[in-house]
Amino acid sequence: MSEYPNTPEDGETIDDFEAAAFQEFNNQFEDKKSSSSVGDEVNLDVILDVPVTISMEIGRTQINIRNLLQLNQGSVVELERFAGEPLDVLVNGTLIAHGEVVVINDKFGIRLTDVISPSERVKRLA
Protein backbone atom coordinates (compact mmCIF):
# COMPACT_ATOMS: atom_id res chain seq x y z
CA MET A 1 0.00 0.00 0.00
CA SER A 2 1.28 3.48 -0.86
CA GLU A 3 2.34 5.70 2.02
CA TYR A 4 0.43 8.60 0.46
CA PRO A 5 -3.35 8.54 0.11
CA ASN A 6 -4.85 8.75 -3.38
CA THR A 7 -1.71 7.60 -5.21
CA PRO A 8 -1.23 4.51 -7.40
CA GLU A 9 -0.16 1.30 -5.68
CA ASP A 10 3.05 -0.50 -6.74
CA GLY A 11 2.50 -2.08 -10.16
CA GLU A 12 -0.63 -0.02 -10.80
CA THR A 13 -0.49 2.31 -13.80
CA ILE A 14 -1.74 5.88 -13.74
CA ASP A 15 -4.53 4.89 -16.17
CA ASP A 16 -5.64 2.10 -13.81
CA PHE A 17 -5.53 4.50 -10.88
CA GLU A 18 -7.52 7.20 -12.73
CA ALA A 19 -10.08 4.65 -13.88
CA ALA A 20 -10.51 3.34 -10.34
CA ALA A 21 -10.81 6.87 -8.94
CA PHE A 22 -13.36 7.81 -11.59
CA GLN A 23 -15.33 4.62 -10.95
CA GLU A 24 -15.34 5.35 -7.21
CA PHE A 25 -16.56 8.91 -7.86
CA ASN A 26 -19.25 7.59 -10.20
CA ASN A 27 -20.39 5.00 -7.62
CA GLN A 28 -20.61 7.69 -4.93
CA PHE A 29 -22.51 9.95 -7.33
CA GLU A 30 -24.96 7.15 -8.20
CA ASP A 31 -25.40 6.28 -4.49
CA LYS A 32 -26.11 9.93 -3.71
CA LYS A 33 -28.55 10.16 -6.62
CA SER A 34 -30.47 7.03 -5.60
CA SER A 35 -30.53 7.88 -1.89
CA SER A 36 -31.50 11.54 -2.22
CA SER A 37 -35.04 12.52 -1.40
CA VAL A 38 -37.20 14.69 -3.63
CA GLY A 39 -36.00 17.87 -1.89
CA ASP A 40 -32.30 16.95 -2.15
CA GLU A 41 -30.39 17.77 -5.30
CA VAL A 42 -26.88 16.81 -6.23
CA ASN A 43 -24.94 20.07 -6.21
CA LEU A 44 -22.95 20.05 -9.43
CA ASP A 45 -22.27 23.79 -9.22
CA VAL A 46 -18.96 23.07 -7.49
CA ILE A 47 -17.51 21.47 -10.63
CA LEU A 48 -19.19 23.46 -13.40
CA ASP A 49 -16.34 26.01 -13.60
CA VAL A 50 -13.50 23.46 -13.58
CA PRO A 51 -11.54 23.90 -16.84
CA VAL A 52 -11.00 20.85 -19.05
CA THR A 53 -8.97 20.41 -22.22
CA ILE A 54 -10.94 19.46 -25.32
CA SER A 55 -9.01 18.28 -28.36
CA MET A 56 -9.79 16.79 -31.74
CA GLU A 57 -7.65 14.02 -33.18
CA ILE A 58 -7.53 13.51 -36.92
CA GLY A 59 -5.39 10.38 -36.74
CA ARG A 60 -2.23 8.68 -35.51
CA THR A 61 0.68 6.78 -36.90
CA GLN A 62 3.98 5.35 -35.72
CA ILE A 63 7.30 6.14 -37.35
CA ASN A 64 10.84 5.30 -36.36
CA ILE A 65 13.29 7.88 -35.07
CA ARG A 66 15.25 7.84 -38.35
CA ASN A 67 12.17 8.96 -40.31
CA LEU A 68 11.20 11.44 -37.60
CA LEU A 69 14.58 13.15 -37.86
CA GLN A 70 14.20 13.39 -41.65
CA LEU A 71 10.93 15.35 -41.46
CA ASN A 72 11.10 18.88 -42.80
CA GLN A 73 8.84 21.49 -44.34
CA GLY A 74 6.72 19.84 -47.02
CA SER A 75 7.06 16.32 -45.61
CA VAL A 76 3.87 14.27 -45.66
CA VAL A 77 3.03 11.87 -42.82
CA GLU A 78 0.40 9.25 -43.64
CA LEU A 79 -2.08 8.63 -40.84
CA GLU A 80 -3.90 5.39 -40.02
CA ARG A 81 -7.31 7.02 -40.47
CA PHE A 82 -9.02 7.20 -43.85
CA ALA A 83 -10.05 10.49 -45.45
CA GLY A 84 -13.65 11.30 -44.59
CA GLU A 85 -13.65 9.36 -41.31
CA PRO A 86 -14.93 11.35 -38.34
CA LEU A 87 -12.49 12.98 -35.93
CA ASP A 88 -12.17 11.83 -32.33
CA VAL A 89 -13.23 14.41 -29.73
CA LEU A 90 -11.33 13.98 -26.47
CA VAL A 91 -11.79 15.69 -23.11
CA ASN A 92 -8.67 15.46 -20.97
CA GLY A 93 -7.56 12.58 -23.21
CA THR A 94 -10.81 10.59 -22.88
CA LEU A 95 -12.85 9.91 -26.02
CA ILE A 96 -16.31 11.44 -25.63
CA ALA A 97 -17.55 11.93 -29.21
CA HIS A 98 -16.87 11.84 -32.94
CA GLY A 99 -17.39 14.71 -35.32
CA GLU A 100 -16.63 16.38 -38.62
CA VAL A 101 -14.70 19.55 -39.37
CA VAL A 102 -16.69 22.68 -40.21
CA VAL A 103 -15.65 26.28 -40.90
CA ILE A 104 -17.29 29.03 -38.86
CA ASN A 105 -16.33 32.66 -39.62
CA ASP A 106 -12.95 31.60 -41.07
CA LYS A 107 -12.18 29.40 -38.05
CA PHE A 108 -12.27 25.64 -37.74
CA GLY A 109 -14.98 24.04 -35.65
CA ILE A 110 -16.41 20.58 -35.20
CA ARG A 111 -19.94 19.27 -35.65
CA LEU A 112 -20.56 16.36 -33.30
CA THR A 113 -21.95 13.37 -35.16
CA ASP A 114 -21.88 10.78 -32.38
CA VAL A 115 -21.65 11.39 -28.62
CA ILE A 116 -20.59 8.49 -26.43
CA SER A 117 -22.95 7.95 -23.48
CA PRO A 118 -21.58 8.58 -19.97
CA SER A 119 -22.10 4.93 -19.03
CA GLU A 120 -20.07 3.79 -22.05
CA ARG A 121 -17.29 6.26 -21.13
CA VAL A 122 -17.13 4.75 -17.64
CA LYS A 123 -16.93 1.23 -19.12
CA ARG A 124 -13.99 2.27 -21.31
CA LEU A 125 -12.12 3.60 -18.28
CA ALA A 126 -12.50 0.38 -16.31
Average pLDDT for 75-102: 92
Q: To which H or E segment does residue 56 belong? A: strand 54-57
Which domains, from first to last, does the chain contain? 1-48 (no CATH), 51-126 (2.30.330.10)
Taking phi over 0 as left and psi of -120 to 50 as alpha, with beta for the rest, 81 belongs to beta
Per-residue pLDDT of 89-122, as tens digits, reads 999 888 999 999 999 999 999 999 999 988 887 7
Dihedrals phi, psi of 105, to nearest 5 degrees: 50, 50
How far apart CA 27 and CA 68 sit, in angstroms, is: 44
Residue 32 has pLDDT above 90, yes or no: no
Decide if 58 contacts 81 (C-beta within 8 A): yes
Contact between 117 and 10 under an 8 Å Cβ cutoff? The reply is no
Q: How confident is the model at residue 5 (pLDDT cuts 50, 70, 90)?
A: very low
Let me know if 89 is exposed, middle or buried by CB neighbors in 10 A (0-12, 13-18, 19+): buried
Give the model's pLDDT for residue 7.
45
- Give pTM, 2 decimals: 0.56
Lowest mean pLDDT among 31-45, 47-61, 71-85, 88-102: 31-45
Is 66 or 124 the better-scoring residue by pLDDT?
66
Average pLDDT of span 45-68: 91
